Amino acid sequence: MRKASVVASIILLLMVLGGTLAYNHMKKENVLTPSGTENKYVRGHNIPGKLYWAGSAYDKEVALTFDDGPETQWTPQILDILKAKNVKATFFVIGRQAEKYPEMLRRMVAEGHSIGNHTFDHADLTKMSPQEAEYEIDRCIQAVSRNTGKKPRLVRPPFGFHNTEVDNMIYAKNGLVILWSLDTQDWMGMSEEKIKTQVLSSMKNGFIVLQHDGENPKLGGSVQALPAIIDGLKAQGYAFVTIDELLETQPYYETEQQ
């Protein structure tokens, strides 16, 4: 009888210990990997499914983005570097530039990059009526579509200027507002060393890096820094992805949409 009681006590103790270990394991797993795709994007100012300034903090990924192109000085150099390094990026293009240099758009698509919408005229959407702002977005979509067959649904408002009216207009079109986590300020003519150091020292999981490839004579330092940025981030263990890969979403509208 005494032996049976001891055995029962041991079994009960093992069950309690096992339950505690299982609970702690589940708790740890929940901290490291939140359940559901949307949950892992709850971060900072993100509005999952609508607006993002960064990707998931749980994934060691980074997205390089380039605004204001395409053109024929910086865009080809950037594409050459990305191709040599086997890195894919996202280009937020201006519609009027897309119409001037359609061959650059087609090269972006052919080499596996994603194209986003940066309006037709690089307009401050917050100073427009909702109808005027939507027209800016739509004209850019049309310019890209005419030359690539793609209709971008990822929208980066010029200057990062947006408000409730602008955001709601984009959401109503099933678009996403894409901002950034790390601004290189390369458009100001920052040096190669300063841009490289800033990016490599500030990087965190899921960050979106903002650079430019527009018609700006001050972008030499940014382009020169790009190979070292890529090599340095790879050495830190980061994987390079496009914005749509970072956010696990579709970069373009279906043909019949929009």
Residues tagged active-site: 67, 212
Which of 66, 52, 41 is closest to 181 using CA atoms?
52
Q: Are the CB atoms for 90 and 116 separated by under 8 Å?
A: yes
DSSP letter, residue 51: E
Tokens of 169: 């207009």
Which of 225, 81, 218 is closest to 209 using CA atoms?
225
Indicate the length of the chain as a whole number.
258
CA distance 24 to 30: 10
Q: How far is CA 50 from the centre of its chain?
A: 13
CA distance 76 to 104: 8
39 C-beta neighbours (distance < 10 Å), count: 13
CA distance 41 to 80: 32
Across the strands, what pairs with 209?
64, 182
> Could you tell me the sign of the dihedral formed by the alpha carbons of 112, 118, 121, 122, in that order?
negative
Q: Biggest alpha carbon distance in the chain?
A: 92
Tokens of 48: 């999952």
Tokens of 168: 């709601």
